[in-house]
Amino acid sequence: MSLHNTITIITGAGRGVGRATARLFAHAGAQVVLFSRTPSHVAETAAEIAASGGHALAIAGDVACEDDVLALFKQVQDTYGHIDVLINCAGIVAIRPFVDMDATTWDRVISTNLRGTFLCCREAFRIMTVQKKGVIINLSSLSGVKGVEKFPGLSAYNVSKAGVAIDVQRKIRERMGKDGLDTAREIRHAYRMASQPFDLWQEVSLVTFTLRLTPSLRQQLYRRLHQAYASGSLRVVKRLHALLAITEGMTVHEVSQMLDLGEQTVRDYLNRFLWQGVASVVYKRPPGRPAKLTKTHRKALTALIEAGPQAAGYPSGCWSATIIQDLIHRHFGVEYHPHSICTLLANLGFSYQKARFVSAHLDEATRLEWRHHTWPTGLRKARQRKALLLFGDEASFAQWGSLSYTWAPKGHQPEVPTSGRRKAYKVFGLIDYFSGRFFYTAHTERFNSDSSAAFLRDVLAQTTQPIVVIQDGARYHTSKAMAQFFAAHAERVTKVQLPAYSPDFNPIEYLWKNVKKLATHLKYFPEFTLLQTAVDQTLLHFARTPQAITALMARYCESLGAMAA
């Protein structure tokens, strides 16, 4: 039997096996009639077939509704005048233990799978008997075959498929045999011929259903997931995430892509879960000594970590022990506990650090010029002139305070009251590279050229030495008014500008961090005067302890100073 121009009705054609069967038959030349409950699904299938050059008629309806089935066959008869093939693919699955099965769910499964098959077969049989020809194909399941192990929770599905496989199919075969018709024999060769250029089973899994969990079972899975994370059981974590993703409606293909697993592996997870439940989510420890990374592996791992998690295909920008555990397993097939990961990383020369921002606008050529020429030259000249080498900057201390890390009970994040007021205490500062001397002035107004010039005049009044001021390119440092100020005091004041976006070259930035740590971190200032007092006391502390500032200089300017020595 050739499928060319055969009128073929396919139920359940909106998705799954029905959709793939419709595509296969259309590819072989059949004129397919698509029947499904969801209009959007059946329309999508029809559009896909039409785009590939096939012919498809989309009809929406429910196989369990007799009126819909009668309307289907009437429309096909009115449109084509005959029916050659009926393929009953429509079917649904409800996963629920037998003792928890409610009558409504039972009736819905039986109505679609068994009643729907009966109604369509009956109408097709009436037409085919008059035609004296026709083929009916009913898709059953091993779930409906006696002697085959069944998955738990599929009682209604098993009964419905047994009814199709045993009773409906046998009755139709008996009756159609008397009338010279066939339920499958004539179509087998044509089906095989159609399948040759178009592999049906690469396009769709044999069983498509939505896995729904009871609240209790879902809670068990999440509890097991937390245990797996705590114990570092990476394979269990992936397995549980795969099952939970399927319950959220994701397909096997989507889950496999998301978790970097094979599709068959995901199906195996699902099948074992349907059979054994939560008890299936366990792995036995393999015998023998656990595998470790070789020297070659460790070298490769170091390069992967230095390249960053996004380069390795992870969405996160931060490495964690769990992500590195997955990285090692993916690339080297070796499993490490997260606690062992920390030891391994320490042995490889890594430590857990907070990243810092580096501006994307950095001019590396200018920065190199500063490090290798500008700074060494300026440092040498300042020593020769016995000048003060002052790093300058400004800081704002907000009344709402500032946050930082601290120790606290697990599960209880520290909370700090805040006034929410945006008022801030503004401070100009200069620190001497040689002595650690700290000059500062505080006020509540905005930073501008006038206040900047006034601060420098105070510093000149407090000193007699030449002054070299190193500062950034803020507008109130480079304005016309400031240019006039430096020109007027050129005999004593020399201005040196830092490279753009280079706070790491200015050690006073780290002094401000220490001031905030002592004065404002995790503190509540209901009144602005309380903030002023806290900041003033801390500034005075650093002004009286220049050795604390020279320690900052030694820590953050050591490499710069070494270049000029």
Catalytic positions, please? 157
Question: What is the residue whose two structure tokens read 């060769």?
Answer: 189
What does the DSSP 8-state code read for residue 521? Answer: B
Adjacency order of strands within the sheet including 135-138? 55-60, 31-36, 7-11, 85-88, 135-138
Q: Nearest-CA neighbor of 341 among 358, 329, 355, 353? A: 329
Q: Which string of b and e fits 345-373 if b means at least 16 CB within 10 Å?
A: beeeebeeeeeeeeeeeeeeeebeebbee
What does the DSSP 8-state code read for residue 370? Answer: I
> How far, in whole angstroms, is CA 233 from its chain's centroid?
20
Burial status of residue 541 (CB atoms within 10 A of its CB: 0-12, 13-18, 19 or more): middle
Half-sphere exposure of residue 40: CA atoms within 13 angstroms, side-chain side:
0
Q: How many CB atoms lie within 10 A of CB 490?
A: 10
Residues 200 and 112: their CA atoms lie apart, in Å, by: 24
Contact by Cβ (8 Å): 452, 428: yes
Question: What is the residue whose two structure tokens read 């296969």?
Answer: 24
> How far, in whole angstroms, is CA 337 from its chain's centroid?
23
Residues 519 and 506: their CA atoms lie apart, in Å, by: 21
Burial status of residue 179 (CB atoms within 10 A of its CB: 0-12, 13-18, 19 or more): middle
3-state secondary structure of 560: helix
Q: What sign does the dihedral 358-362-368-374 (CA atoms) show?
A: negative
Residues 456 and 495: their CA atoms lie apart, in Å, by: 11
Q: How many CB atoms lie within 10 A of CB 61?
A: 19
Q: Nearest-CA neighbor of 35 among 18, 20, 53, 52? A: 18
Q: How many CB atoms lie within 10 A of CB 547?
A: 8
Contact by Cβ (8 Å): 70, 127: no
Question: What is the residue whose two structure tokens read 């050129």?
Answer: 490
Tokens linked to 337: 């506990």
Q: How many CB atoms lie within 10 A of CB 288?
A: 6
Angle between helices 66-80 and 116-131 (to 10 degrees): 30
DSSP calls for 234-269: HHHHHHHHHHHHHHTT--HHHHHHHHT--HHHHHHH
Tokens linked to 65: 């509704």
Q: What sign does the dihedral 281-284-286-292 (CA atoms) show?
A: positive
Residues 335 and 319: their CA atoms lie apart, in Å, by: 17
